[in-house]
A and B are shown apart, each in its own frame.
Chain A
Amino acid sequence: MSSGLAFSRMNNKLVFFSALVLMLLVYGFRQAIFIAPTELTMGNIQRIFYYHVPSAFVAFTCFFANLIASLWYLKSRRLSADAWALATAEVGVIFCTIVLVTGPLWARPVWGIWWTWDARLTSTLLLWLIYVSYLLLRRFSTSGQTPVLAAVLAIFGSVDVVFVYMSIRWFRTQHPQPVMGPGGGGLDPRMGYALLANFIAFAAYGALLVTLRRNLELRRQRIEERHAMGALAGASR
Chain B
Amino acid sequence: MMLFLPRNLILAYAFTWLVHLCYLAFLALRSRRLRREEAELDRMQTPREAKREVPAQNRGA
Contact = CB atoms under 8 A, between A and B. Distances in A.
Contacts of A29: 13
B30 to A, nearest CB: 6
A97 B20 CA distance: 11
A48 B8 contact: yes
Main secondary structure of the interface of A (DSSP, over half): helix
Contacts of B38: 219, 223
Contacts of A108: 8
Given A45-B6, A219-B34, A101 B1 contact: no
Interface in A9-54: 29, 33-34, 43-45, 47-48, 51-52
A162 B22 CA distance: 29
Given A101-B15, A219-B34, A223-B34, A94 B23 contact: yes
Interface string A84-116: 000000000010011001100110110000000
B50 interface: no
Contact of A33 (B3, B11, B19, B37): B3
B59 to A, nearest CB: 19
Interface of B: 1, 3-6, 8-9, 11-13, 15-16, 19-20, 23, 27, 30-31, 34, 37-38, 41, 44-45
Contacts of A101: 12, 15
Contacts of B30: 216
A106 B3 contact: no
A98 B6 contact: no
Nearest to B6: A45
Q: Which of A43, A51, A105, A226 has the largest count of B CB atoms less than 10 A from its CB? A: A105
